[in-house]
Amino acid sequence: MSYDPDNIFAKILRGEIPCHKVYEDDATLAFMDVMPQVDGHTLVIPKAPSRNLLDADPAALGPLMVSVQKVANAVRKAFAAEGILIKQFNEPAAGQTVFHLHVHILPRSAGSELRPHSGKMADHALLARHAEMIRSALTA
């Protein structure tokens, strides 16, 4: 399978579709998942095109993981989480639905439940507040 430059994350990177941006550097972009499984569910993607981890340029993986760590620490702080769940899927059989490499960051606390990734979009005002909370934690 090859990379599709018209996937939704590629369109976000080109500015064709808006997102609730949390963090950006030369190599990566982090933004709120619009169908969050928990409050604070954030995605981090490389700017370099790749379908998933299996075909990514190895040079893109280091900067991606640095951003994942940075954003995960901010998400943990912003949501007073006891832990952080990091998820990454490769190909449909493993649960991948958007074919641009991406890493999920989900704040977790004991006893909290994950909501299904239902296809129902969250309230954009709520996502904007959550993005601001994470951005504030990044600069604190």
Q: What is the pLDDT of residue 1?
A: 77
Is residue 102 a contact partner of residue 88, using CB atoms and an 8 Å limit? yes
Let me know how long the chain is: 140
Q: Is 102 a residue of the active site?
A: yes
Map tokens 């006891």 to a residue: 82
Q: What is the pLDDT of residue 120?
A: 85
Model pLDDT for residues 115-131, shown as the tens digit of each residue: 988 778 999 999 999 99
Model pLDDT for residues 24-81, shown as the tens digit of each residue: 999 999 999 999 999 999 999 999 999 999 999 999 999 999 999 999 999 999 999 9
Give the count of alpha carbons within 13 A of 126, CB side only.
Answer: 11
Asked if the 8-139 domain carries CATH number 3.30.428.10, the reply is yes
**Domain boundary assignment for the chain:** 8-139
Select which of 20, 100, 102, 104 is catalytic: 102
Exposed, middle or buried: residue 73 (CB in 10 Å: 0-12, 13-18, 19+)? middle
